[in-house]
């Protein structure tokens, strides 16, 4: 499994602690440094079963600058959202855990991290 983290994020640190406590094998990806491209974001969205606006941090300063809260949330604007996430990875909700079974979760809660561990 792989976990996308921002080391400054308390939810990310909590998820890592739980993974370590459970003896999970995982790879850490600091996605602000190792930025996912648009195709990779699409693949993770597919694994999550979510749309890009579902994993966008709309309260970030850059989101305000881009006016993201006003963007339509439909198939016609999906690529625009994905491009914004690839260009501004700080907008991506974290941590994202890709499970070995091909699924993924946004691991913001202990329950979500445990769900990823059970896959």
pLDDT digits (tens, 9 = 90+) for 21-78: 999 999 999 999 999 999 999 999 999 999 999 999 999 999 999 999 999 999 999 9
Average pLDDT, the chain: 96
Residues 61, 66: Cα–Cα separation, whole Å? 9
Question: What's the pTM?
Answer: 0.93
The residue annotated as part of the active site, out of 1, 2, 9, 112, is 9
Q: Is position 12 annotated as part of the catalytic site?
A: no
Q: Taking Cα atoms as reference points, which of 52, 27, 28, 53 lies closest to residue 41? A: 52
């Amino acid at each position: 499994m792989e976990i996308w983290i921002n080391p400054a994020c308390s939810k990310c640190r909590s998820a890592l602690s739980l993974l370590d406590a459970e003896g999970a094998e995982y790879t850490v990806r600091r996605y602000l440094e190792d930025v996912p491209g648009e195709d990779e974001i699409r693949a993770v969205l597919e694994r999550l079963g979510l749309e890009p606006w579902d994993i966008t941090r709309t309260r970030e300063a850059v989101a305000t600058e881009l006016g993201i809260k006003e963007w339509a949330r439909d198939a016609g604007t999906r690529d625009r959202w994905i491009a914004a996430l690839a260009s501004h990875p700080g907008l991506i909700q974290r941590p994202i855990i890709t499970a070995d079974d091909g699924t993924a979760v946004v691991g913001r809660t202990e329950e979500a991290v445990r769900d990823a561990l059970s896959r």
